[in-house]
Amino acid sequence: MQMKIDRPIFIVGAPRSGTNIFYRTFARHPDLAWISNITKKVPSSLWLTRLIMLFRDDHRPTEANNVWQKFTRGDDEALGHEDVGQEARNYLRRVLQNNLHIFCKPRFINKCPGNSVRIDFLKEIFPDALFIHILRDGRAAAYSIMRSRLGHSGAYWSVKPPGWRELLKVPLVDACALQWKMTVAAVLKSAQKLPPEQYMEVRYEEFVARPAEIFMQVGTRCGLVWQNELLNEITVGIDNRNYKWQSEMDASDRQTLNSLLGHFLDELGY
């Protein structure tokens, strides 16, 4: 029996914006299923996944890039509503149904920064989808992206919005700042076309300051009820790490971030 897909929740946002801690914590809601590090292996095959589960039971929420990038064809990772064919529609709906079935849950959640440039695509396949945008001060996010890139020998990392190859031609600090800006701009552009009830913006700074309160608000928007005891338990230890870009970057790099992002940050209310 196929499971009904009811208002799937997609967490989007630029890399290093707090999407991971938000996702992994929110995914502990008892009504939510997600793609795990096991169910992503053969995501469209329920019986093969069941077979793997006979030998492995280490389920943790994952981005599942192999699922969401399956139908990207160009140099970047963006997809729009015009890219939705029957194969993509059938495949992605089957993946969600499989995970709902495996976990015996009524709702589905996923976080994948790459989906920030695929919102129109996902909306076409899942018309009642809810999109939660985690937005963080771009200077803090850019510094964290830079640290991640340095951990990968400086190689380009994470979301590839349209025009991303131009970022290979500029200094690392500039590239990380502009990657954040391009990704956030893509989310905001798609958000303008979404009904208000299907899009919610969550500021990282507010989330880490009042995580239980924010989860309660997001739960209400998503039609999910939290138990206070669980909510208090899972939000212990969430803290603000925005200070690092100011305390660990040299003055010239901080100036670069302010110069590149200042106007856009003003528009966003930072």
Q: What is the DSSP letter of 76?
A: S
Helices and strands: H and E segment counts in the chain:
12, 5
- Banded model confidence at residue 49, pLDDT cuts 50, 70, 90: confident
Select from 222, 228, 250 the least CA-distant residue to 9: 222
Q: How far apart are CA 1 and CA 76, in angstroms?
A: 36
| pLDDT tens, residue by residue, 119-171 | 999 999 999 999 999 999 999 999 999 999 999 899 999 999 999 999 999 99
Give me the chain's average pLDDT, please: 95
Per-domain boundaries in the chain: 9-268
Query: What pLDDT does residue 203 have?
Result: 97
> Hunting for tokens 């990772």 — which residue is that?
77
Query: What pLDDT does residue 56 have?
Result: 81
pLDDT exceeds 90 at position 241: no
Residue 190: is it exposed, middle or buried by C-beta count within 10 angstroms (0-12/13-18/19+)?
A: buried
| pLDDT tens, residue by residue, 17-47 | 999 999 999 999 999 999 999 999 999 888 7
Query: What pLDDT does residue 1 have?
Result: 60
Calculate the dihedral angle through the C-alpha atoms of 35, 148, 178, 67, rounding to the nearest 10 degrees. -20
Per-residue pLDDT averaged across 76-86, rounded? 96
CA angle 202/149/140 to nearest 5° reads: 35
Q: How far apart are CA 157 and CA 167, in angstroms?
A: 11
- Side by side, which strands form the sheet with 107-111? 32-33, 107-111, 9-12, 130-135, 199-203
Helix, strand, coil percentages, rounded to 5, for the chain: 55, 10, 40
pLDDT exceeds 90 at position 73: no
Give me the percent of the chain exceeding a pLDDT of 70.
Answer: 99
Multiple choice CATH, 9-268, 3.30.450.150, 1.10.1200.10, 3.20.20.70, 3.40.50.300: 3.40.50.300
Q: 36 pairs with which residues across the strands? A: 61
Q: Are 28 and 34 in contact (CB under 8 A)?
A: no
C-alpha 181, offset from chain centre: 15
pLDDT exceeds 80 at position 79: yes
Per-residue pLDDT averaged across 53-68, rounded? 89
pTM for the complete prediction?
A: 0.96
